Amino acid sequence: MVDVDEAGAMKNGAATDHKTIIISQRGNLKALESALRKQWRLGQNIVLCWSADERGVLVIFVPHYFLGNFCARLDHAGVQDNEAFVRELISGDRRKPHDEFFAIANRLDIAPGFIRLDTPIADEPAVVSAVEQLIKRYGLSYVSDRAVLLFDIAEFSLFTPFEQASQLNSLSYSLNSAYNKLLVQGIEVHFSRTTTGDGFYVWNRALGAQANRDLFYFLLLVIADNAVARRASRGNTVPVIRAAYHVGSHYELYQAEGVNPTVYSYIVGDVTIELARLVEKAQPEQILMGHFETALDVPAGSNAEAQELVFSPGFLEYCNQGLSGLQGIQFAGKNVAKLHCRLSGSGVADDRRAVRRFLIIDKHGLSRHAYNLELGIEFEDLTLALGLAEAALPEEVAESSAAAVALDMFASPDAEDGIATGEVSLYEQVEELASLLQDRFHPEAQDNP
């Protein structure tokens, strides 16, 4: 496991060693943490933001219930939505310029607090990063766009306690093994995880399209390591898992553990809810990808004014472009010659309209869309087919999927977001209708796309 402890801080996925910080600033960090812990009061209060001062640090502390009450207030005409204001406030960096800091305090109608330090906080990246981590540890964060995985052990409750412990340990090892294999290839996934009891939520602490892609590669290697382990195991010591990948928003917090906040964070939000509902309907060994819209990184030096937005199939295409970098990874002493991924229903590489999207209805009657992911790993002497092949999907899933719909790989710039509610944009409705009509009246189009 690679979680960074109190000896280091994370900044955009990279660890900052406190040993690189001079002694006086380390003293500031200790004094700051001591003061924050006192004002935190076992989780009664949370810190929202901070600003450096010549004599110390300005902070805004509020009771843990304050934000909920603030978001419930009726807004005045022309005033920014309170919930949007709070989300923006607890997203990204918490350090604010003096003018913005006091404007925030005025908007919240909260008197700022002050923590006196022996020396001013140095305006150095390592020091500022360390302060940011302290502030977030005693607060609440919001992330609008992050990939998260959910691994779930099938039929977990039917095993003995010893078998359950063995299976969780085996899955945990597969996570660590995937991390090490990617690290050898020059890909470092700064992953965090929280247990669900019979599995794990896993996410990359770094943000952005590349971080989301790296986590997708992490998913592939965990699935592969688990499959190889099952082949070599006896009894019920290695789990049969089902997994899901989704990109969405979430809140991040640190719960109280004794008299201190935990070192490791927890996440909850739209992305975890979507994953739980997807896996709830998934079959053993199945890999699902949620229906999401996300931004790809703008290439350096390009003239693009905005990031390119893609739906899930487009994101998979983006991930497939880097799969060659995973060649040479070893499983059970065998080198990987080639990896390939596809969403069920897709045809040849240039077939951009054949991806099948399934409708999943959960126990609450809410619907969402998902894709079935198929993974192939080629070695010199054999090929592993992982995930559930389309032909193996249960009858009831196919029937409840409202048949299959075809989607373009890439999103329209005018497409509306329909992830949380399961709604489909007008653009997608037109595309789906056109595709279904084409399939019905021109069956030969399937052979000549």
CATH number at 154 reads 3.30.70.1230
Tell me: do 410 and 425 sit in the same domain: yes
Mean pLDDT of 2-25: 53
Q: What is this structure's pTM?
A: 0.80
Q: Which amino acid, 376? A: G
Are 218 and 341 within one domain?
A: yes
CA nearest neighbour of 205 among 430, 411, 425, 1: 1
> Which pLDDT value is given to residue 395?
55
Per-residue pLDDT band for 59 (boundaries 50, 70, 90) equals very high
Is there a single domain that holds both residue 207 and residue 129?
Answer: no
Q: Same structural domain for residues 184 and 100?
A: no
Q: What is the pLDDT of residue 212?
A: 97
Residue 323 is assigned to a structural domain of this protein: yes
Residues 330 and 190 in one domain: yes
Assigned domain for 3 exists: no
Residue 289 or residue 348, greater confidence = 289
Q: Are residues 60 and 108 in the same domain?
A: yes
In a domain, 151, yes or no: yes
Question: Any bridge partners for residue 16, and if so which?
Answer: 9
Q: Give which of 285, 338, 294 is closest to 317, Cα–Cα.
A: 294
- Report how many domains make up the chain: 2
Residue 282 shares a structural domain with residue 314: yes
In a domain? residue 1: no
Looking at the structure, do residues 97 and 218 belong to the same domain, yes or no?
no
Beta-strand ranges (E) seen in 44-173 are 45-53, 56-63, 113-116, 140-153
- Boundary (domain end) residue, out of 122, 138, 154: 138
Burial class (CB in 10 A: 0-12, 13-18, 19+), 222: buried
pLDDT digits (tens, 9 = 90+) for 355-406: 888 888 888 888 899 999 999 999 888 888 999 888 887 654 443 333 333 3
The answer on pLDDT for 147 being more than 90 is yes
pLDDT at 17: 52
| Angstrom distance (rounded) from CA 401 to CA 440 | 18
Whether residue 408 lies inside any domain: the answer is yes
Residue 2 belongs to a domain: no
Full domain range(s) for residue 127:
8-138
pLDDT over 80 at 41, yes or no: yes
User: Does residue 395 fall inside a structural domain?
Assistant: yes
In contact, 359 and 369? CB cutoff 8 Å: yes
Provide mean pLDDT across the span 317-336: 89
**Calpha distance 213→28 (Å, rounded):** 37
Domain endpoint, select from 138, 153, 175: 138
Query: Residues 49, 189: one domain?
Result: no
195 burial type by CB count under 10 A (0-12 exposed, 13-18 middle, 19+ buried)? exposed
Q: What pLDDT score was predicted for residue 260?
A: 67
Q: Which among 138, 153, 172 is the end of a domain?
A: 138
- Radius of gyration for the alpha carbons in the chain, expressed in angstroms and rounded: 24
Residues 76 and 149 in one domain: no
What pLDDT was estimated at residue 297?
77
71-85, 159-173, 314-328, 378-392: which has the minimum mean pLDDT?
71-85
Q: Are residues 184 and 93 in the same domain?
A: no
Give dist(CA 95, CA 99) in Å, integer. Answer: 12
Q: 229 and 133, same structural domain? A: no
